[in-house]
């Protein structure tokens, strides 16, 4: 009876995916400063299964959330994209404290629409590219700075990071904006499609966000469907889905094969843990089922100042946020002077530790001497390759404690190797062309 009261035809249910393909500049589709995994890895290096939720008993994914509470919000594009970034941060940091979860509400409040004369779309929909492009030029805080409200807000100081007191302050408001806080962005972003290329991207740098086509069968008959298909959702529709049916964005974190031989993707949804398999699901892999392999995106996350906080270089004040521990307290306010926010243009040099996301995985004992990557002797001792840049960068990463989570993939016998295609070298496209392509959106 309850189900009959609340069921809404899926064709009328808006999940939140609205493509920017027809309005975004073609030149700004990607911002890439090196080779992509599929340009470096071979198909033989793809393991038969990978699940970032459990790599040798360690989970490299962050907590599950729900886009539909405290009220309904068409924010799948935000949840799928931010989940992939959160998990890539955790992978880069080898699951070390803290678990970082970027503020979904700031994305709701601040990512601009295709038509800048209108307010940010937020719960009215968008796509992963809009978020990645925004984070390339701007930094945001985490969930503790601005929690999810599931409603459109304002992109001001209060809409980005806030704190509150039991009693109203001098401005007769119990809450105020925090001027300085831990911030995150992305240094690169791009697109990927097709089973093999998706696997290589997930293997090399972590989960990705993908668009898919949902229908009433998937929403309301999921449990009965997987019961008949070895735990894997298989679209019962006789008519294949098309690009026009795409209406949802989800995070893809791995792949595998069921006991009966059904290949599948491991996917996180954003409808709460009471839906699906604790909020997750498996869908048939290799046949672009429900359009899951047609439109995916990735980004390399960065942080402006996380390491400064973890190292004790800066600390947080209740009223102002981050400040130097040795800063002089203001006589007039009785608080420490807040740190000035750092510009996104200097983000990469301020956060070298995030370079760990440029590490690729390969199976132990496998070599590619002609490509100049790390190789291994019979004694399992790594030796320097002929690729000087790769050797130098790997040494730097090791010095800051980031040996690369790719080493944990599939089994404890996998080793990480730096692939020479990843560097801070300029993009292949001329700088002038990149600037021209980015220009319409630099006014964020």
Q: What pLDDT sits at residue 237?
A: 87
Q: What pLDDT sits at residue 313?
A: 92
Query: 76, 145, 161, 210: which is the annotated catalytic residue?
Result: 76
Q: In whole angstroms, give the CA distance from residue 12 to residue 355.
A: 43
Determine how β-strand 296-303 pairs with β-strand 208-212: antiparallel
Flag whether 88 is in a domain. yes
Query: 248, 289, 296, 305: which is the annotated catalytic residue?
Result: 248
Q: Which among 298, 276, 114, 300 has a CA at the least distance from the CA of 210? A: 298
Give the helix/strand (H/E) hosting 299: strand 296-303
Contact 188, 157 (CB under 8 A): no
Q: What pLDDT sits at residue 273?
A: 94
Query: 66, 86, 109, 269: which is the annotated catalytic residue?
Result: 269
Three-class secondary structure of residue 313 per DSSP: coil
pTM, 2 dp: 0.77
Q: In whole angstroms, give the CA distance from residue 407 to residue 414.
A: 5
Chain centroid to Cα 407, Å, comes to 20
Residue ranges in 342-443 assigned as alpha helix (H): 347-350, 388-399, 431-438
Contact 187, 346 (CB under 8 A): no
Q: What pLDDT sits at residue 343?
A: 53
Q: In whole angstroms, give the CA distance from residue 89 to residue 346.
A: 19
Q: What pLDDT sits at residue 171?
A: 62
Contacts with 428 (C-beta within 8 Å, 6 or more apart), sequence order? 32
| CATH for 202 | 3.90.70.10
Active-site residue, 76 included: yes
Contacts with 314 (C-beta within 8 Å, 6 or more apart), sequence order? 305, 308, 322, 323, 324, 325, 339
Structure tokens at 224: 């009965």
Give the helix/strand (H/E) hosting 83: helix 76-92
Flag whether 189 is in a domain. yes
Q: Which among 317, 349, 4, 41 has a CA at the least distance from the CA of 197? A: 41
Contacts with 176 (C-beta within 8 Å, 6 or more apart), sequence order? 158, 162, 163, 164, 169, 319
DSSP label of 364: T
Q: In whole angstroms, give the CA distance from residue 6 to residue 219.
A: 13
Flag whether 185 is in a domain. yes
Active-site residue, 161 included: no
Please list the residues that pair with 248 across neighbouring strands.
212
Flag whether 348 is in a domain. no
Give the helix/strand (H/E) hosting 224: helix 222-227
Q: What pLDDT sits at residue 345?
A: 52
Domain total in the chain: 1
Flag whether 89 is in a domain. yes
Residue 355 CB-density burial (10 A; 0-12 exposed, 13-18 middle, 19+ buried) = buried
Q: What pLDDT sits at residue 354?
A: 31
Flag whether 29 is in a domain. yes
Residue 250 CB-density burial (10 A; 0-12 exposed, 13-18 middle, 19+ buried) = buried
Structure tokens at 389: 């840049």
Q: Which among 28, 61, 83, 62 has a CA at the least distance from the CA of 249? A: 83
Residue ranges in 118-170 assigned as alpha helix (H): 128-137, 157-160
Flag whether 120 is in a domain. yes
Q: In whole angstroms, give the CA distance from residue 8 to residue 438.
A: 41
Flag whether 349 is in a domain. no
pLDDT in tens, the chain (444 residues): 344 444 444 446 788 898 989 888 888 999 999 889 999 888 998 999 999 999 999 999 999 999 999 999 999 999 999 999 999 999 999 899 999 999 999 999 999 987 777 889 999 999 999 999 999 999 999 999 999 999 999 999 999 999 998 876 666 778 999 999 999 999 999 999 999 999 999 999 999 999 999 988 898 999 999 999 999 999 998 888 999 999 999 999 999 999 999 999 999 999 999 999 999 999 999 999 999 999 999 999 999 899 999 999 999 999 899 986 554 333 333 333 344 445 555 554 323 333 233 333 332 333 333 322 322 223 322 222 223 333 333 333 333 333 333 333 333 322 232 222 222 222 333 333 333 333 333 333
Residue 65 sits in which domain range?
A: 2-300
Contacts with 110 (C-beta within 8 Å, 6 or more apart), sequence order? 120, 134, 138, 140, 155, 159, 160
Q: What phi and psi, each to the nearest 5 degrees, are found at residue 214?
A: -100, 150
Q: In whole angstroms, give the CA distance from residue 408 to residue 308.
A: 27
Q: In whole angstroms, give the CA distance from residue 68 to residue 230.
A: 29
């Amino acid at each position: 009876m309850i189900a009959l009261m609340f069921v809404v035809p899926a064709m009328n249910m808006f999940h939140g995916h609205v493509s920017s393909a027809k309005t975004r500049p073609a030149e700004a589709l990607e911002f890439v400063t090196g080779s992509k995994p599929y340009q470096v890895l071979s198909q033989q290096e793809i393991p038969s299964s990978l699940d970032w939720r459990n790599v040798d008993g360690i989970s490299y994914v962050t907590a599950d959330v729900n886009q539909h509470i405290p009220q309904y919000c068409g924010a799948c594009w935000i949840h799928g994209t931010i989940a992939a970034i959160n998990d890539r941060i955790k992978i880069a940091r080898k699951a070390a404290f803290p678990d970082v979860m970027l503020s979904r509400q700031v994305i709701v409040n601040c990512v601009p629409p295709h038509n800048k004369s209108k307010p940010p779309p937020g719960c009215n929909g968008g796509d992963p590219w809009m978020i990645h492009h925004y984070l390339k030029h701007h930094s945001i805080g985490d969930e503790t700075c601005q929690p999810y409200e599931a409603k459109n807000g304002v992109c001001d100081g209060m809409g980005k990071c806030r704190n509150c007191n039991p009693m109203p302050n001098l401005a007769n408001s119990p809450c105020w904006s925090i001027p300085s806080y831990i911030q995150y962005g992305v240094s690169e972003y791009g697109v990927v499609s097709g089973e093999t290329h998706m696997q290589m991207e997930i293997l090399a740098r972590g989960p990705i966000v993908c668009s898919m086509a949902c229908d009433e069968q998937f929403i309301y008959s999921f449990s009965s469907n997987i019961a008949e298909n070895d735990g894997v959702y298989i679209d019962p529709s006789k008519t294949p889905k098309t690009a026009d049916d795409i209406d949802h964005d989800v995070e893809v974190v791995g792949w595998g094969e069921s006991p009966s031989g059904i290949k599948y993707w491991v996917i996180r949804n954003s409808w709460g843990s009471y839906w699906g398999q604790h909020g997750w699901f498996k869908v048939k892999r290799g046949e672009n089922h429900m359009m899951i392999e047609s439109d995916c995106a990735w980004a390399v996350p960065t942080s402006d100042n996380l390491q400064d906080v973890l190292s004790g270089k800066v600390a947080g004040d209740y009223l102002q946020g981050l400040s130097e521990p040795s800063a002089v307290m203001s006589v007039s306010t009785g608080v420490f002077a807040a740190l000035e926010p750092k510009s996104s243009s200097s983000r990469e040099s301020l956060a070298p530790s995030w370079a760990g996301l440029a590490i690729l995985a390969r199976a132990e004992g496998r070599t590619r001497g002609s490509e100049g990557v790390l190789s291994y002797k019979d004694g399992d001792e790594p030796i320097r390759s002929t690729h000087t840049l790769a050797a130098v960068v790997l040494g730097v990463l090791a010095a800051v404690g980031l040996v690369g989570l790719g080493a944990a993939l599939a089994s404890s016998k996998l080793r990480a190797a730096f692939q020479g295609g990843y560097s801070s070298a300029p993009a292949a496209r001329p700088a002038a062309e990149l600037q021209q392509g980015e220009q319409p959106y630099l006014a964020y």
